[in-house]
Structure formats: structure tokens, C-alpha cells
Structure 1
Amino acid sequence: MRLLIMGPQGVGKGTQAKLLSEHYNIPTISTGDIFRANIKNQTELGKKVLEYTSKGFLVPDELTNEIVKDRLAQDDVKNGWILDGYPRNAAQVTALDEICAEMNTPLDAVVALTAPTNVLLERMAKRAKEEGRADDTPEAIKNRLNTYEKETAPVLDIYGERGKLVSVDGVGDIDEISKQIISSLDAKLA
């Protein structure tokens, strides 16, 4: 199974991706985790990424597309994957379409998690405090939420038109949300 998990910052994509990964026994590929690991290890990529993320800007498409393509070519994703944080705009949808076509691995479904903005802001403020993430400043958070609404939310329309979209409310008990996602996916892909 090849899935995308999408939604605004703080909606619980990472948490739900981990649970789906365990349920379907496929790896989660988080562009954010890849970026943060490179920043932590002070790699050249990490330095480039930090120039953008520290200001609340997104990493350029070319760099992100290259990282995703490389990751989807690795052995552990032969039986499927969950992409978290990608694609985030229409150009990246096109790039992912090309990657999937080239690898003969079509996308099965897109999970869209939703939540009100006040819940998202509260969750990210808590996460910033608990995890000490430098990219979760109030200014950066607001910038990313605005960018999501402008650039990424329209991607959901593309996948909706293709019949790939499963929308689930991201507010509530984590396990209940996970059960809702799994039952929706199983029904869609049956």
C-alpha cells in the first residue's frame, strides 16, 4: 500500500503515520524528519534546509523532490510506504506522479486529517515546549499554516478529483482517529 498523509501542521500526521505504518507494516517517510536529521547532523543539506525552516519557509521543491525520489528507491519500501509532508503543492504532485510512474508504484490513497486552527496552534505550542523544536516559533507556525492553506490545501482537491481522498477529523482520541482512518482506507481500497 502506498499512501499520503496530509493536513496542516499540528494535526497529528506524524502520530497517525506511525500507527498506520505499524498496522500495514510499511515505512513512514517524513520529509520533515529527513530535514531535521540533516540539520542535527549539520550536513550540507541540513545547512541549506535550516536557512529556510528557521524563518518558517518551506524547503524548495527541487531539493525536496530529489530527497523523496531517492528515498522511494530504497529496498525497504518495496511493499509500500506512507509519505508524510509531501507533496505540499501542485508542482510536487506532478513530481510524485512522475516518480510513481517511473517506479511503476501507483499511489493507492491520500489520508487528509483536519482540525480547527485554534487546536493546531495549541498543539504546536505544546510540541515546541516539549520537544524544543527551533522551527516551532509562533511566527514560523503562523507562516506555515498560511502557506498550507494557500499551497497545500488545494492539493487535496487534486486527489479528491482522482478519487484517492479519505478525510478524517484529526481531533479526538488518537486510537479512535487511527481506527477511523484504517476503516475508511479498507473500505476505499476493498
Structure 2
Amino acid sequence: MLNLVLFGPPGAGKGTQSQKLIDKYQLVHISTGDLFRAHIKNQTPLGKKVSKLIADGELVPDKITIDMLEEEVDKNPQAKGFVFDGFPRTIPQAVELDKFLESKGSKIAGVIALDVDKDELTKRVAQRQKESGRVDDQADKIQKRIDEYFNKIVLVLPYYDEQKKLTKINGIGEIETIFNSLCAVIDQY
């Protein structure tokens, strides 16, 4: 099973590249952000909790995130693998993901981090907000999410680097060029 973690700050291109990877490798995309937005849209009890946290620019507690992610994996027993997008965000989440996958007889094959600087991220997210109107892309909230990534979430990367699973890729450039770089890494797994 080909399980990948795609890292990068908001606006790095994780969603765009994930879709291309899904198409090429026939993987299932699990984006915690998409799952949260679906729960919010459907006004589920979880969605209401998550909505308040996201509105405040906070991270959703590990337990809620992990339970939701495990439920999504279990919905896809025939999957050839998964692309985890936006998860894990903490070392405890990474440890729990490893334990969960191990219980399924699987593991993370590799972790790819898209490197994009803050100036480029700000431009991309502003454009995305104009095009999609995502409420979590508003200027004040997005800056808090970008800062959260660079100050906290990147601290997960050494966990995977120690396991020799981490590869960093330049996330600035043409979509196809970035995709080809991703594929070159994945094809080595």
C-alpha cells in the first residue's frame, strides 16, 4: 500500500498536487481540511465544534482529528493507498497515524514537504480566496494559519526525517514541474 503524507503551509499547492497524485497512482485523498469543511457544511455536531475552532484560527484537538481520519480510512478498504493532506500536524498525531496504519498492516511510505516562502503563500491564498470564497482564506485568519505552520507544524518534519522518509521539494514553479518532481520521489518507494 502506498501511503503518503503531503506537507506544506496553506497555499503551497497540496490540494492541487494531491489530485494529480490520486489520478496517477489511484490513491485516496484524505484532507483533514476537506473533512472538517464537509462536517461544517452539514452542520454535524463535530462540524459545529470544528467551525468555532477554525473561525478562531485554532487547531482541532488531536482526538477529534484522529477519530475522523481513521473513520475515513476504514471507509476505503480497497484503497491502493492514501495521500494524507494536512495531517499529521503534531508529533503525537504522527505517532498515532503510524500506530493506526500498523494495526492495518501498513505504514507511511514517504513524506513530501512542499517548500514555499511566505510572500508566495500570501499571494496564492489571496487569489484562492477571490476564486473560491473559502472562509478560512480571509487575510487575518490565513496569516494565523501560515504562522501556525511555520512555528508549530514544521516541528513534525524531523520525526519523519529521522525515519528517512522525508523529502523536500520546491513548491514554487509550474504545476507540472512540481508534479514531475513529486513523481520522481514517489517512484522510488
Q: Which residue of 2 aligns with 1:186?
A: 187
1:44-101: CA deviation from partner (whole Å, max 9, x where unpaired): 1111110011121111111001111111122355321111000011110111111111
Write the distance in 2 (CA, Å) between the matches of 1:140 and 1:168: 26
Q: Which residue of 2 aligns with 1:166?
A: 167
Q: 1:94 to 1:115 in 2, by over 3 A?
A: same
- What SS is found at the alignment partner of 1:10? coil
Q: Is the 8 A contact 2:28 2:79 kept in 1?
A: no
The more displaced of 167-176 and 66-75 is: 66-75
Alignment pair present for 1:72 and 2:63:
no
Write the distance in 2 (CA, Å) between the matches of 1:86 and 1:173: 25
Write the distance in 2 (CA, Å) between the matches of 1:140 and 1:94: 28
Write the distance in 2 (CA, Å) between the matches of 1:74 and 1:15: 23
Write the distance in 2 (CA, Å) between the matches of 1:26 and 1:76: 12
Structure 2: tracts of 5 or more residues without a match: none
- What SS is found at the alignment partner of 2:5? strand
Counterpart code for 2:135: A
Write the distance in 2 (CA, Å) between the matches of 1:147 and 1:172: 24
Q: 1:179 to 1:24 in 2, by over 3 A?
A: same
TM-score (norm 2): 0.95
Moved over 3 A (4+): none
Counterpart code for 2:106: T
Identity over aligned residues, as a percent? 37
Write the distance in 1 (CA, Å) between the matches of 2:175 and 2:139: 25
Q: Which residue of 2 aligns with 1:2?
A: 3
Alignment pair present for 1:134 and 2:135:
yes
Q: Is the 8 A contact 1:128 1:136 kept in 2?
A: yes
1:100-134: CA deviation from partner (whole Å, max 9, x where unpaired): 11111111001110111000011111111111111
Write the distance in 2 (CA, Å) between the matches of 1:24 and 1:84: 15
The more displaced of 73-82 and 84-93 is: 73-82
1:15-69: CA deviation from partner (whole Å, max 9, x where unpaired): 0011011110111111100111111121211111100111211111110011111
Counterpart code for 1:63: I
Q: Is the 8 A contact 2:12 2:116 kept in 1?
A: yes
Counterpart code for 2:148: T
Q: What do you get for the CA RMSD once the two structures are aligned?
A: 1.1
Q: Which residue of 2 aligns with 1:54?
A: 55
Q: Which residue of 1 aligns with 2:30?
A: 29
Write the distance in 2 (CA, Å) between the matches of 1:56 and 1:65: 19
Q: Which residue of 1 aligns with 2:92?
A: 91
Structure 1: tracts of 5 or more residues without a match: none
